[in-house]
Structure 1
Amino acid sequence: MNSQNISKNESSISVEAGNRYIVYNIINNMPGIRYMELKRLTGLSYGTLTYHLTMLERESKIRVVRSSRKSRYYPNMIGEIDIDIIDCVRSEICRGILLLILREGKVTLDMLVKRIQRAKTTLKYHIDRLRAKRLIEKERVGRFVFYYVKDRRMIERITMLINWIYSTQL
C-alpha cells in the first residue's frame, strides 16, 4: 500500500512538471502571450494554469507584465524595451503601423488611414501608444506630421523581434 502511494505521488509530480514545462515552452516560443490564449493552447484548467504560472514566476523563469486590462507572459531573458516592442507587435494595428513605417521611412496619418484602412481616431490611439513607449517619433513639417523610427538600432530591433515572433508561431 505504501509503494502504491509513492508511485502515485511520483507520477503526479512528473505530470505536474510536464505541464509546467509545456507552459514554459509556449511562453518561450510565444513571448507576450495572454492568459486565455495560453489556457486554450495548453488545455489546462484555470486553477492548474494559474498555479504553474505562479510557480514559474516565483522561480524567476518568466516575467508577467500586468496592466489594468490584461496580463502578458514573457521569458525572463527578455528586456524592457523588447517587452514594449512585443506588446505593440502583438496588436495587429500597431504591427501594421510599424511595418508601414519600416517600409516607407516616414508616414503621415492620412497615409496610414489609406493603407491600414482604420479610422483616424483608432490609428491615433495606437500611434500615441507607440510614441509613449518611444518606439516612434513625430516630426512636423509645415502642415504635415510625419511618424518615423529615429534610431537605426531600434529599426533593427523591431524587425528582428517581428521576424522572431512570427517565425516561431508558423
Structure 2
Amino acid sequence: MESKIDFLNDKYAKLILKSTSVPKPANDISEETGIPLGTVYRRLEILKNAGFLQVAGHIEDGVKVKTYHNKPKRYHISNPRISFLLEIIQKNPAISYRDIQKISGYPFGTLSNSLSNLQKDSRIIVKRSSRRTHYFPSHTPPTEFPVLINLRKETAKKIIMFLVDNKNGTYSDFKKCTNKAPSTVSLTLTNLVEEKIIKRVSGFQPHFELQDVQFVQNILAKITPSNIDKMKDRFADTFSYF
C-alpha cells in the first residue's frame, strides 16, 4: 500500500525530500523532479503525516499557495544515524531500547536524544509499560502492538507460533513446547487471554485458540524470515521476560 512506503528506499520520496530543501509548492516539485503531480500530492501527504515535511501557506495573486519544506538536517532521513535507527525499528517492530542500543552501538545519551526527536517528529511510535519501552515504525496500527510485543517474549512467542501451526493447544502442550515452569506458562496464558490474542475454549478437554488467526498471520507475514530466525536465536538472551 502506498501509505506504507519504505521511506529509506522509495525513489519518489527521496526526490521530493531533496527538492524541498527550500519551501516549494507541489507544482514546482513536480516540474523539478519529473514526478506526476498526482503522485507528488500523494507522497507529500504521506511524508507530511510521517513528520518529514513542514507545511506553510501564503497568498499569491489572491490565491492561497501551500508550500512544503523538509525537516532540519540533524534529524533528517539523510542523516546516517537517523537512517540507521529507522531501519532498525522498521525491521524489528516492538524492539526495546536496550536492543536498539545493542544493535546500533550508539552511546545512551546520543541514542536517547535521537529516539526522542524521532518521536517528536512522528517518525516512530513509542509505547511505554512498567517493564519496557517498545518502538514501532510510524505506520504501525495500534491494534498490532500487543501481538508484536508478545512476539518479542520467548514464552509468549512459542505459544503463539504453536497455535498458528496447530490451531489449538492445551496447557500440557504449552508446557512441552516452551519448556518453562508451570507458573510461567500459566501467567503467559493469562496475559495473552487478557490482551485478546488467544481465547480459552471450555469443554471436555479445555484448550486455547488464537482470537483471530488471520490477523496474527498477517502480522507474521510483515516480518521477514531472516528477522524471525534472528529473533528465535536471540530470544533467551535479549528478548525474554517470561
TM-score bracket, normalised by the shorter chain, equals 0.7 to 0.9
Q: Does 1:109 align with 2:171?
A: yes
CA deviation after TM superposition for structure 1 residue 61, in Å: 0.8
User: In structure 2, what is the Cα distance between the partners aligned to 1:60 and 1:13?
Assistant: 15
Q: Is the CA contact 2:150–2:157 (under 8 Å) kept in the aligned structure 1?
A: yes
Distance 1:98 1:39 in 2: 27
Question: Whose radius of gyration is greater, 1 or 2?
Answer: 2
| 2:210 corresponds to | 149
Residue-by-residue CA offset, 1:75-97 (whole Å, 9 max, x unaligned)? 11111221111001111211110
Q: Which residue of 2 aligns with 1:160?
A: 218
Say if 1:89 and 1:162, in contact at 8 Å, map to a contact too: no
Matches of 2:119 and 2:138, distance apart in 1: 9
Which residue number in structure 1 is paired with residue 150 of structure 2? 88
Choose the corresponding residue for 2:159, options 91, 94, 97: 97
Q: 1:60 aligns with which of 122, 133, 136?
A: 122
Rounded Cα–Cα distance in structure 2 between residues aligned with 1:40 and 1:113: 31
Deviation of 1:160 after TM superposition, in Å, equals 2.9
- Equivalent residue in structure 2 for 1:75, among 124, 137, 153: 137
Q: Matched residues in 1 for 2:198 and 2:164: separation?
A: 10
> 1:33 aligned to 52, 74, 95, which one?
95
Q: Kindly indicate whether the alpha-carbon contact (under 8 Å) linking 2:75 and 2:117 is maintained by their aligned counterparts in 1.
A: no
The Cα shift of 1:114 comes to 2.3
- d(CA) in 1 for partners of 2:168, 2:190: 16
Higher relative contact order (CA 8 A, sep 6+): 1
Give the superposition deviation at 1:49. 0.4
2:195 aligns with 133
| 1:102-131 deviation digits (Å, cap 9, x = unpaired) | 222221101211232222211111111111
Q: TM-score scaled to structure 1, two decimals?
A: 0.82
Distance in 2 (alpha carbons) for counterparts of 1:96 and 1:63: 26
SS in 2 for 1:141: coil
Residue of structure 1 equivalent to 2:180 = 118
Residue pair 1:65, 1:71 contacting (<8 A) in 2 also = yes
How far does residue 14 in structure 1 lie from its aligned partner after superposition? 8.7
Q: Write the distance in 1 (CA, Å) between the matches of 2:226 and 2:89.
A: 11
Give the conservation status (yes or no) of the 8 Å contact 1:29–1:168.
Answer: no
Q: Give the Å deviation of 1:29.
A: 1.1
Q: 1:117 to 1:13 in 2, by over 3 A?
A: closer
How far did residue 13 of structure 1 move? 4.4
In structure 2, C-alpha distance between the alignment counterparts of 1:113 and 1:14, rounded to whole Å: 46
8 Å CA contact 1:33–1:74 kept in 2: the answer is: yes
Counterpart-to-counterpart distance in 2, 1:113 and 1:59: 44
Number of equivalences: 155
Determine the C-alpha separation between the residues in 1 that align with 2:75 and 2:119: 19
- CA contact under 8 A between 2:75 and 2:82: conserved in structure 1? no
Identity %: 19
The reply on whether 1:46 has 2:108 as its aligned counterpart is: yes
Residues in 2 aligned to 1:76 and 1:131: alpha-carbon distance in whole angstroms: 27
Q: Look up the SS of the partner of 2:177 in the other structure.
A: helix
**Cross-structure match for 2:37:** none
Gaps of 5+ in 1: 1-11
CA-based RMSD of the aligned residues comes to: 2.1
